[in-house]
A and B are shown apart, each in its own frame.
Chain A
Amino acid sequence: MKQMLKNQAKQTGIALAAVAAFAALGTGSAQAQEFTAASITLENAGESAGSLNCSFRETGLIPGEQIRYDCASQYVGVMEQCMYRNKPVGNNRLYIYNNIHPEELEHFDVGNNGRVRGTVITQIPEPGEANAIICTAPAELAVTAVRWCNNSLTDMTNGILATTVAELSDQLVKTAQGSVPGCATLANGPFTTPGE
């Protein structure tokens, strides 16, 4: 009996030591959150062409937790113009926006493995009705060029900055007139308030 208790005590000691060791190593408990991959690019096709695309993989999160991510830009320059049969009609207009974020900050669920992999798209902002260009049919309004400045991807829940990209731009309609000025110029405004 004495021997048995001794054995049990020994086993318990080993188990406790193991737990302590695992805890020290971080296995089985919350690891430090970190982005193992993060990129900021522009959507290059489809309806969202020219929008900001933040893709990421974050690990070391608590399973079941919800994380909010922000895909933001400090300044965005957007050139708009009416187009008819791929030809520009009338004058173009440059809109400059500041502090642009996704329309809604989505919550991402953390998987059982403590990881989140996802993409957040921030759409090209649009002007309010009062500032919008009205195209005479059959001409149609198009965003012809865009420039995103000082872009960042952030885990808002844990306050971790994943990555930053200083400048991204795209000429979306090659036949249109004019390009968006550089970020240094955009920073001077004047800024347009995005519409609903």
Chain B
Amino acid sequence: MKHTFGKQAKLSGIALAAVATFAVLGFGTAQAATFTSADLSINSVGFLEAAFKETGLAPAESVNYTSGATDVGWVTQCFVKNKPVSNLPIQVHVAHTADGLTTTRTYTATNRGVITQAILTAYPTVEEEVEDPLCPETEGVEITEEITAIRWCNASLTDTTNNIVGASEPSLFRQIKRNGSSAVPECGVLATMPTDI
């Protein structure tokens, strides 16, 4: 009989431990929303891309996200037949939060409470017609102004519904054209420069 009590106590202990383990792992209860992956990067054309997977959401829950940056700087240069025109100046462009560097999105969670998405944010531009173009028109030569490098500062991705920051990067840089200028100022400098789109 003593032996039986001992066995029961042992079994109860195992069961309790299992329950505790499940509780810690979140099985059978509502899991907390969490980003299981979140990556901020610059895509091949210079856009900020926030790719993420968030789990632990309620099935069919509607979740709001914001992705953006506080500052962005990029360099443009004149090219002829994919070659930079060395005797023409490069141009540094700058934009800040107020110029529209934040994208908001609303996504719906799957039945398993998961959202997997990517949010693209472009650096801002204006209509092409400018009085003093960087690349002068030359008869018989096709000369184009192209972005060569870009830097996004204080980029972040946030689940604003549950108030969770998925990712943040103080500075992201990408050389878009290998043979082009890379002279984008550092974030500390960009933050102090006036908007020039």
> CB distance B106 to A177 under 8 Å?
yes
Q: CB-CB contacts of A89-108 with B at 8 A, as 1s and 0s?
A: 11100000000000000000
> CB distance B47 to A134 under 8 Å?
no
> CB distance A136 to B118 under 8 Å?
no
CA distance A89 to B105 in the complex (A): 10
Partner of A87, one of B120, B125, B127: B120
Residue of A nearest to B49 (CB): A87
Known: A91-B104, A177-B106. A84 touches B45 (CB 8 A): yes
CA distance A139 to B103 in the complex (A): 15
Residue of B nearest to A138 (CB): B45
Residue of B nearest to A178 (CB): B106
> CB distance B122 to A136 under 8 Å?
yes
Contacts of B126 in A (CB 8 A): 134
CA distance A82 to B127 in the complex (A): 14
> CB distance A82 to B122 under 8 Å?
yes
CA distance A135 to B120 in the complex (A): 12
CA distance A91 to B101 in the complex (A): 10
Contacts of B125 in A (CB 8 A): 134-137
CA distance A90 to B102 in the complex (A): 7
Counting CB contacts under 8 A, is A88 at the interface?
yes
Q: A124 to nearest B CB, angstroms?
A: 21
Partner of B47, one of A84, A91, A177, A178: A84
Q: A87 to nearest B CB, angstroms?
A: 6
Counting CB contacts under 8 A, is B100 at the interface?
yes
Partner of A136, one of B102, B103, B124: B124
Please give the residue numbers on chain B whose beta carbons come within 8 Å of chain A beta carbons, in ascending order: 45-47, 100, 102-106, 118, 120-127
- 19 contacting pairs across A/B (C-beta < 8 A): A82-B122, A84-B122, A87-B118, A87-B120, A89-B120, A89-B121, A90-B100, A90-B103, A90-B120, A91-B100, A91-B102, A91-B103, A91-B104, A134-B124, A134-B125, A135-B122, A136-B123, A138-B45, A177-B105
The 7 closest A-B pairs by CB, nearest first: A136-B122, A136-B125, A89-B120, A89-B122, A90-B103, A90-B122, A91-B103
With A89-B121, A136-B123, A136-B125 already in contact, 7 other A-B pairs whose C-beta atoms are closer than 8 Å:
A82-B122, A84-B47, A87-B120, A88-B120, A91-B103, A135-B125, A178-B106
